[in-house]
Amino acid sequence: MKNKVIDIIAETLDVDKKDITLKTNLIKDLDIESLDLVDLVGAFEEEFGVEIADKDIKDIQTVADIVEYIEDHEA
C-alpha cells in the first residue's frame, strides 16, 4: 500500500519517489497547491476504490495520513 501511494504521489506531482517517505508533508515538503491536492485525491479514490470526504482532506497532512485513511476506508 505504502509503495503504491508513493508511486501515485510521484507520478501525479512529477517528483522523484526517492524524496517521498511516510513522514513527507504534502504541503510543506512537496509544496502542493489545492489543485494538486484535488488531483491526488482523485487518483487515490480511483486506485483504491475509496471516497475521501471533503471534510477529511484537511486532516490529511502526510503520506502516512493517506495510507492510514485508505486502510481505514477500503471496502
Q: How does pLDDT run along the chain (75 residues), one tens digit per residue?
A: 999 999 999 999 999 999 999 999 999 999 898 899 999 999 999 999 999 999 999 889 999 999 999 999 986
Specify the number of domains making up the chain.
1
Q: Tell me, yes or no, if the pTM score tops 0.85.
A: yes
Name the nearest CA neighbour of 24 among 39, 38, 5. Answer: 5
Domain with 56 in it: 2-73
Cβ-Cβ contacts under 8 Å for 61 (sequence gap 6 or more):
25, 26, 27
Cα 37–chain centre separation: 8
Phi and psi at 54, nearest 5°, equal: -55, -40
**Is residue 36 exposed (0-12), middle (13-18) or buried (19+ Cβ within 10 Å)?**
middle
What's the CATH number where 18 sits?
1.10.1200.10
Which residues share a beta bridge with 25? 62
